[in-house]
Amino acid sequence: LAKTTQPISMDSYEGQEVNITCSHNNIATNDYITWYQQFPSQGPRFIIQGYKTKVTNEVASLFIPADRKSSTLSLPRVSLSDTAVYYCLVGDLSGGYNKLIFGAGTRLAVHP
């Protein structure tokens, strides 16, 4: 399983764009990159997943450079409710179940 490195914490203000970068230097050919969001006392929730280039959905964008050794989660115009822990996970999900390991994540605090 590829090891990931992401900042421990970040601060932002309402209305700003937030970019959280994750490093995964030993990513393998079959690995996908997945981001989850977790609020206190709740289970993590899937945000976005990608393999290469750019992926966008209704809540975020995921930028993946050609070498795939890093990825950036972009949250446009954050609000106070985006305060949460964000996890970057990298691994091959083609098997019968998910073996991905959650790291410490990035604790995002959005201020008024």
Residues at the contact surface with another protein, assessed by CB under 8 A: 32, 34, 36, 41-46, 49, 93-94, 96-105
The residue (of 59 and 101) whose beta carbon lies closer to another protein is 101
The residue (of 21 and 49) whose beta carbon lies closer to another protein is 49
The residue (of 16 and 93) whose beta carbon lies closer to another protein is 93
CB atoms within 10 A of CB 66: 7
Position 88, amino acid: C
Q: Distance (Å, rounded) from C-alpha 28 to C-alpha 42?
A: 31
We find the least distance from the C-beta atom of residue 30 to another protein, in angstroms, to be 10
Q: Distance (Å, rounded) from C-alpha 111 to C-alpha 53?
A: 31
Chain Cα centroid distance, residue 6: 9
We find the least distance from the C-beta atom of residue 15 to another protein, in angstroms, to be 29
